[in-house]
């Protein structure tokens, strides 16, 4: 869904051209730039954008069994989520590291290695070779096409190359992946090396879906505001909106959208809440104008964002929000700790179907919708092959 929703944009087509030699990397970058892919909140990792295209490429090109494809996806998610937690999750993001870009080489290497049937030593070598390539600091490149997505595609391609090298017998240093390495990349204050060990939580089922296109840090506040409107509070009668968010997220969501920077408009909570009030359909737009319309800017002046230390107790697993609106003499407050699409909350499949009709081009909706339907292994395998062929065709069509 994310791929087809965003593949027609100029920036996505440039990415397709930039990664002509690595289709998995191209698709990964194109998916991640949409901001409508999945996320594991506790680790601040969006694993699907890396793992699924890499697994599709490796499985379809090598004609592997469905069971191996499934194991490759599970392995990629596990590696990414554990690395993100070990680095400190949202604390690493606050420190200037993009956790998913940091973990992308290792996720891609693990996914490709398992999909291609490497033994334990081969998988270890692939991950170890990828570790030596990891970084994660990309700054804030603006404009379009943005170097942010180029760096992301490079990180995925690097992991794929690590798996190729491991297949040729190259070996890395598995001992590199540890406390000292994490501290050198993210600083010693927030790292959690114990997260690298096997956990009791299934990383795949602990990953959730966003109900609309947004930085995940903004979503609980937007949903809380939507719930207030659903109680009959008229948008035009609201004079003030106070939003409390966890301390670690406050600075990011309060940052104003910058002209020409599409991603900043998606991450600006003022714009997101104003859109929920005035233009709800905008929440499902992948391609945003970096300079929001005047009516949104005017409405956003009513919004005041602050750090709410009471929400810190739910971190890092929950990025909660408290929203209070003043409408005349009436004050209404909503406290939101979970939204539809979060692990174990609501009907994720129903939410995805609704999201699909708003995001993907009509011609691509049947293919995406079929992937949400139950199927036996033979049908699933056929659907995955059809999906990858369709994605590859879009890459080849990029002018």
Q: What is the pLDDT of residue 288?
A: 83
Q: Does the pTM exceed 0.75?
A: yes
Residues 128-176 pLDDT 10s: 999 998 988 888 887 788 899 999 999 999 999 999 999 999 999 999 9
The residue-averaged pLDDT of 283-299 equals: 88
**Average pLDDT in the 326-340 region?**
96
pLDDT of res. 260: 79
Q: According to the model, what pLDDT value does residue 152 have? A: 97
pLDDT for position 18: 95
- What pLDDT does residue 332 have? 97
Say if residues 292 and 272 touch (Cβ distance below 8 Å): no
Q: Stretch 100-112: mean pLDDT, rounded?
A: 97
* Distance, CA of 241 to CA of 225 (rounded, Å): 9
- Is the CB of residue 189 less than 8 Å from the CB of residue 89? no
CB 368 within 8 A of CB 3: no
Q: What pLDDT does residue 75 have?
A: 96
Instruction: Check pLDDT > 90 for residue 291.
Output: no
Helix/strand/coil (H, E, C) string of 316-337?
Answer: CCCCCEEEEEEECCEEEEEEEC
Q: Residue 55 has what pLDDT?
A: 97
Instruction: Identify the pLDDT of residue 199.
Output: 75
Confidence class of residue 257 from pLDDT cuts 50, 70 and 90? confident
217, 252 contact by CB (below 8 A): yes
Considering only residues 307 and 96, tell me which one the structure prediction assigns the higher pLDDT.
307
Task: Evaluate whether 123 touches 113 at the Cβ level (below 8 Å).
Answer: yes
- What does the alpha-carbon distance between residue 11 and residue 100 come to, in Å, rounded to a whole number? 20
Choice between 80 and 263, residue whose per-residue pLDDT is larger: 80
Closest CA to 116 of 155, 160, 153, 170: 160
């Amino acid at each position: 869904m994310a791929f087809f929703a965003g593949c027609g944009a100029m920036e996505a087509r440039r990415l397709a051209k930039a990664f002509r030699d690595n289709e998995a990397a191209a698709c990964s970058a194109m998916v991640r730039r949409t901001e409508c892919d999945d996320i594991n909140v506790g680790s601040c990792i969006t694993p699907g954008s890396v793992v699924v295209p890499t697994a599709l490429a490796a499985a379809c090109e090598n004609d592997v069994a469905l069971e191996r494809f499934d194991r490759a996806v599970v392995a990629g998610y596990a590696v990414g989520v554990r690395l993100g937690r070990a680095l400190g999750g949202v604390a690493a993001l606050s420190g200037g590291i993009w956790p998913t870009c940091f973990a992308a080489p290792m996720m891609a290497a693990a996914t490709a290695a398992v999909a291609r049937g490497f033994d334990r030593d081969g998988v270890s070598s692939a991950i170890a070779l990828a570790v030596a390539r990891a970084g994660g600091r990309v700054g804030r490149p603006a404009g379009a096409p943005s170097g942010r997505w180029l760096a992301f595609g490079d990180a995925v391609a690097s992991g794929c190359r690590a798996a190729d090298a491991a297949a040729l017998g190259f070996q890395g240093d598995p001992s590199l992946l540890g406390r000292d390495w994490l501290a050198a990349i993210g600083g010693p204050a927030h790292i959690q090396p114990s997260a690298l060990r096997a956990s009791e939580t299934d990383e795949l089922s602990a990953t959730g879906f966003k109900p609309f296109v947004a930085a995940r840090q903004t979503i609980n506040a937007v949903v809380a505001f939507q719930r207030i409107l659903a109680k009959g509070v008229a948008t035009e009668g609201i004079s003030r909106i106070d939003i409390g968010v966890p301390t670690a997220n406050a600075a990011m969501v309060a940052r104003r959208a910058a002209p020409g920077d599409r991603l900043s408009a998606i991450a600006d909570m003022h714009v997101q809440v104003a859109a929920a009030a005035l233009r709800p359909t905008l929440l499902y737009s992948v391609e945003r104008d970096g300079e929001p319309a005047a009516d949104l800017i005017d409405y956003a002046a009513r919004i005041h964002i602050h750090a709410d230390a009471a929400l810190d107790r739910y971190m890092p697993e929950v990025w909660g929000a408290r929203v209070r609106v003043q409408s005349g003499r009436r004050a209404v407050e909503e406290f939101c700790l979970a939204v539809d699409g979060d692990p174990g909350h609501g009907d994720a499949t129903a939410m995805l179907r609704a999201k699909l009709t708003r995001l993907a081009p009509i011609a691509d909706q049947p293919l995406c919708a079929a992937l949400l339907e139950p199927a036996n292994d033979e049908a699933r395998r056929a659907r995955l092959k059809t999906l990858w062929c369709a994605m590859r065709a879009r890459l080849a069509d990029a002018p």
